[in-house]
Amino acid sequence: MTGINAAKRERTVQDEHWMRHVFALADRAEREFDEIPVGAVVVSADGQVLGEGWNRNIAEHDPSAHAEIVAMREAGRRLGNHRLVGATLYVTLEPCAMCAMAMVHARVARLVFGAADPKTGACGSVFDLVADPRHNHHVEVTGGVLGEEAGRRLSNYFRAKRGRPPL
């Protein structure tokens, strides 16, 4: 295996590891708070967790308390800085416009998400705010990591709310 292929494989393994971590956070959101099961974690360039979170907008009566925002707020407090330079944000669902622009402002280096969001996705599905050439920072995006599982988890949450069997 060439060095490039080995590095790509290692990145895939890391991405899947962190995606499983955010699945656990999403499960906690649903189980403990009856929130839409979205989880997020901010990881430093050297692999340290800087912040993590899950949707809290229902429990906290806060429309901005999406998993990504909660995780970035914690990371900023931990670093003592509003900039998250070099960090990767992992999240189960493609971020919305609010979360996408927060990543741009925070200078997040990379975004990895599970399921695409065909209704409000702002990182390639409906909009692509993180790559807009008018911004002075662009976020590298890797979507679809364990995407089928991420999508199924979200679909099953909403199916349960409607009294329908899981997929």
The strand order across the sheet containing 140-142 reads 49-54, 39-43, 88-93, 110-115, 140-142
- Under a CB-based contact definition with an 8 Å cutoff, are residues 93 and 115 in contact? yes
Q: Is 149 exposed, middle or buried (0-12, 13-18, 19+ CB in 10 A)?
A: middle
CA 152/CA 45 separation, integer angstroms: 30
Known catalytic residue: 149? no
CA 148/CA 146 separation, integer angstroms: 6
CA 82/CA 105 separation, integer angstroms: 8
Q: Which of 68, 74, 140, 149 is catalytic?
A: 68
CB atoms within 10 A of CB 156: 16
Active site residues: 68
